[in-house]
Amino acid sequence: MIVRSLKDIEGTDRVVSADNWMSRRLLLRGDNMGFSLHDTIIHAGTSTEMHYQNHLEAVYCIQGKGSVTAVGTGEVFDIEAGTVYALDRHDKHVLTAESTMRMVCVFNPPLAGPESHDKSGAYPLIEEHDVTPTGTRR
């Protein structure tokens, strides 16, 4: 069994930050669960366009308020604690945080560790031999 808490991963490579968010990657590919699990903070007042062309992602909001826009259709969905959105069609989307949002994110296939958005808003697929099992880039 794997037991791990946010304080165990503080200050390690499992914490990845970008301008609009900070992702604490509790479970990664090296944990062999078939998915990765992140506790992610989205900073208040930000809007982020994302397009996970290589991954499916489910995002469960546990704190804060905002909205997600499906770029393809223009639909806007309110997001608050207790709401999940699932990008089952690799949907291009914009996440807007009215207040600080805390999200539980699940990725399939699992992230390897250090992924951050590329110019198109995707995470690249990282080869097994390029990272250690704990997610540090070799």
In the complex with ligand 9YT, the residue whose CB is nearer, 114 or 133, is 114
Residue 103 CB, shortest distance to ligand 9YT, in Å, is: 5
Residues whose CB falls within 8 Å of the CB of residue 97, separated by 6 or more in sequence, listed in order: 20, 42, 43, 44, 45, 46, 47, 64, 65, 66
The correct pick among 26, 27, 28, 50 for binding ligand 9YT (CB under 6 A) is 50
Of residues 86 through 105, those in contact with ligand 9YT by CB under 6 A are 95, 103, 105
7 CB neighbour count, 10 Å cutoff = 7
Give the nearest residue (CB) to ligand 9YT.
Answer: 23
Burial of 129 (0-12, 13-18, 19+ CB in 10 A): exposed
Of 13, 15, 40, 98, the one binding ligand 9YT (CB under 6 A) is 40
Take residue 10 and report the two structure tokens written for it.
């503080």
- The answer to whether the CB of 26 falls within 8 A of the CB of 4 is yes
Question: Is residue 38 close enough to count as binding ligand 9YT by CB under 6 A?
Answer: yes
23 belongs to the binding site for ligand 9YT (CB under 6 A): yes
Applying CB under 6 A, does 69 fall inside the site for ligand 9YT?
no
